[in-house]
Structure 1
């Protein structure tokens, strides 16, 4: 299991002369440089940051974040440019992780191979999710410690290859926690709700909670959704309740995270499940 975000290094920026070097501050990066990880950076206010050629938003205080997808390659390129034109580049080695294979049986076949009459609905819901992903929320809540939205036995882990009713499907982009229907779900960190839907085909009750700069929690299969789009919530505030809606075989919390197009492992931020039993069999999605 990935441990919580920990300070890895302070990168001292090289320059052409000692005088210039003294004027350039350290760049700090926090996080494990591995697939599925969120990295939190601090640079000089006003700096511009690019990861693999794509601009990364930087807060007014110099905080920024980026993530490595489950299937990210072996390296990433980080470039930082300061207001005075100086800067640095960093080649990051991204550690590969091994992924489990998880078989989920007993799902209604309509959720494995959707019937033709549901395809238009699925397409409409995909557009809703795409629009929510495109929103950009200011704030840097992502830099604060996260908590578990609910607690219980972990029944599904991030990155596992899912086989539904014997048919291979896309990986599992989140962690599943078994809990009775109606168990409260709280916000793992403060943020702004960018999507709140009570009845999505695959996800059932679904909430996107943006913690700033696109770092977003995805809560699925909820029996009740207590927040609305555009609402700002605080860490620990109840946002809904555990359920078994959508593509699920039993009541549980599904907590996923993403940064832009990168799927992230929530355990990387929340740490070990408090007072949890060993990973157990149970409801999944």
Structure 2
């Protein structure tokens, strides 16, 4: 049978979001996941920070009556991450106390439930806007190894802004999580942009919207803060596709120049 039509756009490197277009009715798989395809044939998937060097997209073209899968392989460019090793720290500064282990596990389940949503929303197709503007104080992908223990990589971009700065929805969506006081992230808000794509904004001082409420790009949804495990006021903003982490800066225009 002839090859099924497939148009993919995005950067084939770790931490990127790839969007696609197929003939309506075509089924698409990525990493053994059947992707949600819109009635118009649009779909999206994310390349994780640690994505392997080759991935496979599989199509099944129903329009011609032949459902034989077609597999297409793509190379993924690795990115150089900044790895910092720090030894000799007091152990209570490296691992959380056992007394909060159950709390951390409960909160992780909440976060994962929001990440696992697969809805029909189309906010991911808009093009993303900065949730806050200011000096970029942290970038995606960096990681610390403390006393030989690898800690979670930095899965977002940090914007240094004063406490109380309005935080705006980067794209249309539905609020999927709104928690004022999580152990690591403090005030935490997640927005479901559809098809598994979501934003997470953390260390917030106030939430302006609740779970299940629709938001429009540019709408104020929270105020920045330094809650949770934060050493100073800033917005940490991450983007994900299900449980794959994506670099927000790959989806954004340059940070607007700041007035002095």
Is TM more than 0.5 here?
yes
Q: Which residue does the alignment assign to 1:202?
A: 184
Q: How does 1:2-81 map to 2 (within 5 A)?
A: 15=2, 26-81=5-60
1:96-151 Cα distance to aligned partner (Å, 9 max, x none): 100113589xx998674211221121121112112222222212211111100001
Q: Return closer, same or farther for 1:62/1:260 CA change in 2, 3 Å cut-off.
A: same
Paired residues of 2:112 and 2:243 also in contact (CA < 8 A): no
User: What RMSD over aligned residues (CA atoms) do the two structures have, in Å?
Assistant: 2.5
Which of the residues 216, 225, 231 maps onto 2:198? 216
Work out the CA distance in 2 between the residues paired with 1:247 and 1:165.
Answer: 19
- Equivalence for 2:218: 236
8 Å CA contact 2:207–2:221 kept in 1: the answer is yes
Q: d(CA) in 2 for partners of 1:98 and 1:151?
A: 26
Residue 257 of structure 2 corresponds to residue 275 of structure 1: yes
- Cα deviation for residue 37 of structure 1 reads 0.3
1:257 to 233, 239, 248: 239
Q: What residue is the counterpart of 2:141 in the other structure?
A: 159
Larger mean CA deviation between 85-94 and 51-60 belongs to 85-94
Larger mean Cα displacement after TM superposition, 84-93 or 112-121: 84-93
Alignment-derived partner of residue 18 in structure 1 = none
Cα distance in 2, alignment partners of residues 163 and 235 from structure 1: 37
Matched, 1:128 2:110: yes
Matched positions, count: 255
Contact preservation (8 Å) 2:14, 2:77 = yes
Counterpart selection for 1:146 from 124, 128, 138: 128
Q: Deviations over 1:64-99 (max 9, x none)?
A: 000110001111111122222457432111011001
Alignment of 1:181 onto 2:163? yes
TM-score by length of 1: 0.83
Measured in 1, the distance between the counterparts of 2:245 and 2:141 equals 9
> Any gaps of 5 or more consecutive residues in structure 2?
none
Q: Does 1:266 align with 2:248?
A: yes
Q: Is the 8 A contact 1:137 1:192 kept in 2?
A: no
> Structure 1 residues 166 and 148, CA, compared in 2 at 3 Å: closer, same or farther?
farther
**What is the TM-score of this pair, normalised by structure 2?**
0.90
- In the TM superposition, what is the alpha-carbon distance from 1:29 to its structure 2 partner? 0.9
Taking a change above 3 Å as real, the CA distance of residues 60 and 198 of structure 1, as seen in their structure-2 partners, is: same
> Within 2, Cα distance between the matches of 1:219 and 1:260?
16
